[in-house]
Amino acid sequence: MAPRTRNLASDPDRPSFLEELYQGRFRWDLIHPFPEQQPADRERGDGAVAEVGSFLRERVDATDVDVRGSLPDGFLTELAGHGYLKLQTGAETGGRGLSSFNTFRVIEEAASWCLPVAVLMGIENALGASAFLRVLPPGPLADRVRAHVLSGGLSGTADTEPAGAANQGRTTTATLVEDGAAYLLNGRKIQVVNAPAGDLFSVTASVREADGTERNRLFFVDAATPGVRRSGPQELMGLRGLPFGGLDLENVRVPAELALAEPDPEHTSRLTPAVSLLVVRGRLYIIAAPALAAAKLCLGWAHDFVARRSVDGRGLGEYEEIRRRLAESRAETFALESTARWSLLGEDQGAAVNLKFEQNASKNICSVLGWRIVERTLSMLAGEGYETAQSKQRRQVTPAPLERAFRDVRGLRITGGVDFLLDNWSAGRTLLSYYYPEPDHAAELAEEQAPPAAFGDDHALSERNREHLRFVREQVHRFGHDCLELVRRHPRRAELMARQRLLILLNRTATELLTMSLTLARAASATTAGQQDVQDLADVYCTAARARLAALLHRRHQEYGPGAVHDAVARLAGTPPTAQEPTHPTHDVTTAEARGTGR
């Protein structure tokens, strides 16, 4: 196991499947048998899921929310009053005391009716005041946050600034005053959920320490404090109705005891350590649960459409391509759900594994899978998919809100970090930490073939899936081998860190291998339990994933060069075409294709 100093997520006392994968080791024993929710916990979750579903269907018209861009009057107060914004805290704070996976299930159910409400619930339960109670040490700050949670007030996290969320530092500043008794905060925050109505906000700000260094720290700011001004609302392409806005802070006095005192982080991060820990798990609530709900809705809409439509006298479901697309969506939904289950169930059951790596990777895995399913469904439904729900209702067609799901789920690839940036960060900050300096098992990685490994009761898998399993093991070793060779070509880490496209491709390779592994592990355990149909789902998913891995490998090899051509083209991007240069070159498509140059 890598030492703690490698990166913030590593735990020398608990192994991680993805951490081992990063290092070219395939640890099937860590993910199989695949965890299952305990019956008592599942039963408790069933009741909470049914309750939230009934509440939302009675209280919220999802189409009206999307059209008006706002939630019903008084709805947020009711949502808080039912304890839906503090699902995991105990009864002593008015919470529900649910497990991590049941919290996920409740948010997924909410998303199946109104996705913006689910995202709001996810953010409050992941990054709101109730979530901070887990990480705050005893003292005045914990007392203040607990009082807020008990009152049922709304909260929010104010981190993003007009300059962008990707910057390591923050332009919002916190200056120590009154001989250390308080801080004065100055700056502007945008894209803050609950900014229009929240009472307590966690605000990131840059503090200049006594030694002259600057670091990000977290402050809890009462919205009623003089100098706090709300701005907005901000309107989004999708997720309409999500209460979004900004906070302007001008000489806002925050008592020193309302600043979260954290140890100096070992690694540079734009977020404070406490927020980083909450974000890792929280993305499953904010991103993965809505993505899974949308995927399941799309499956239902697609099957309904196929059942009632025909082309040239043949039922739509009789066509091969339609059947394949339905199968791919079912298989990707299974893979998405497998990723979420693995990332949360082990935590609930106290498994001796470190899930932080998988929880972090789940954001991109689940949001991209969800988006692929929605986009594929839209193509299948064609014009009916592109049409709004209210338009379908007027002409008495099943009013499936697919175009709304299209807008909403596309936003999930941006929420919590744009997907390609997260790939770059994960590879640069985490993956490379196992190869600089050269790993202890470099000699093992240098071998062309993976060392022999026993899979135990992999006989539960079909023959095709056993072959997929062998393929994954070989590819994990090859991945470690390629990473080792790559860092040897770039002995200076900063040089490789600058190759962003290459890092993105490396991380996408790792997450494809992770998703295949989790899908196969769940299929093996489910088959043992008598669920034979999952073999086909795993096979369909892994077959497509292998094609994507082949493409990623090809693109990685292309990126081993300096990439000068792309740099040159990018520099020309801002140059407008001259009058002699048509913006859209014309050519005979048939002739171009005959020459092998057509697309």
Distances (CA, A) of 125 to 106, 132, 279, 391, 418: 11, 9, 11, 35, 21
Amino acid at 196: P
Residues 558 and 445 in one domain: yes
Residue 142 lies in a domain: yes
Query: Over the chain, what is the mean pLDDT?
Result: 89
Residues 56 and 75 in one domain: yes
Residue-wise burial string across 206-235, b where 16 or more C-beta atoms lie within 10 A, e elsewhere:
bbeeeeeeebbbbbbbebeeeebeeeeeee
Residue 74 lies in a domain: yes
- CB-count burial class (<10 Å; 0-12, 13-18, 19+) for 5: exposed
Residues 555 and 450 in one domain: yes
Residues 135 and 175 in one domain: no
CATH number at 77 reads 1.10.540.10
Task: Among 269, 288, 310, identify where a domain stops.
Answer: 269
Residues 529 and 485 in one domain: yes
322-331: average pLDDT: 97
**pTM (two decimals):** 0.90
Residue 114 lies in a domain: yes
94 contacts 152 by C-beta, under 8 angstroms: yes
Nearest to 285 by CA among 102, 135, 130, 427: 102
Percent of the chain with pLDDT over 70: 89
Distance (Å, whole) CA 326 – CA 298: 10
**Which structural domain, as residue segments, surrounds residue 159?**
155-269
Residue 401 lies in a domain: no
Nearest to 133 by CA among 73, 231, 213, 220: 220
- Considering its fold, how many domains does the chain have in total? 3
Q: Judge whether residue 339 has pLDDT over 50.
A: yes
Stronger pLDDT, 573 or 333, i.e. the higher one:
333
Task: Among 252, 269, 286, identify where a domain stops.
Answer: 269
Residues 110 and 233 in one domain: no
Residues 139 and 169 in one domain: no
Residues 185 and 117 in one domain: no
| pLDDT for position 334 | 98
Nearest to 180 by CA among 159, 202, 209, 206: 209
CATH number at 198 reads 2.40.110.10
Residue 451 is given by DSSP the state: P
The predicted-structure confidence for 81-104, as pLDDT tens digits, reads as follows 999 999 999 888 889 999 999 999
Dihedrals phi, psi of 430, to nearest 5 degrees: -110, -60
Distance (Å, whole) CA 61 – CA 68: 11
Residue 143 lies in a domain: yes
125-132: average pLDDT: 91
Residues 142 and 160 in one domain: no
Residues 53 and 133 in one domain: yes
Nearest to 116 by CA among 45, 194, 25, 176: 194
| pLDDT for position 566 | 66
Tokens at 64, concatenated: 């009206």
Residues 162 and 141 in one domain: no
3-state secondary structure of 310: strand
Residue 408 lies in a domain: no
Q: Judge whether residue 587 has pLDDT over 50.
A: no
Task: Among 237, 269, 301, identify where a domain stops.
Answer: 269
Residue 565 confidence class, pLDDT cut points 50, 70, 90: low
Tokens at 306, concatenated: 């196929």
Q: Judge whether residue 585 has pLDDT over 80.
A: no
In the chain, what is the straight-line distance between the N-terminal and C-terminal CA atoms, in Å? 47
Residue 569 confidence class, pLDDT cut points 50, 70, 90: low
Residue 476 lies in a domain: yes
| pLDDT for position 592 | 32
| pLDDT for position 166 | 78
- CB-count burial class (<10 Å; 0-12, 13-18, 19+) for 171: middle
Residues 159 and 137 in one domain: no
Distance (Å, whole) CA 481 – CA 368: 27
23-39: average pLDDT: 95
Q: Judge whether residue 264 has pLDDT over 60.
A: no
Q: Judge whether residue 136 has pLDDT over 60.
A: yes
Cβ partners under 8 Å of residue 96, min gap 6: 48, 83, 84, 86, 87, 88, 89
Tokens at 150, concatenated: 């008990």
Residue 574 lies in a domain: no
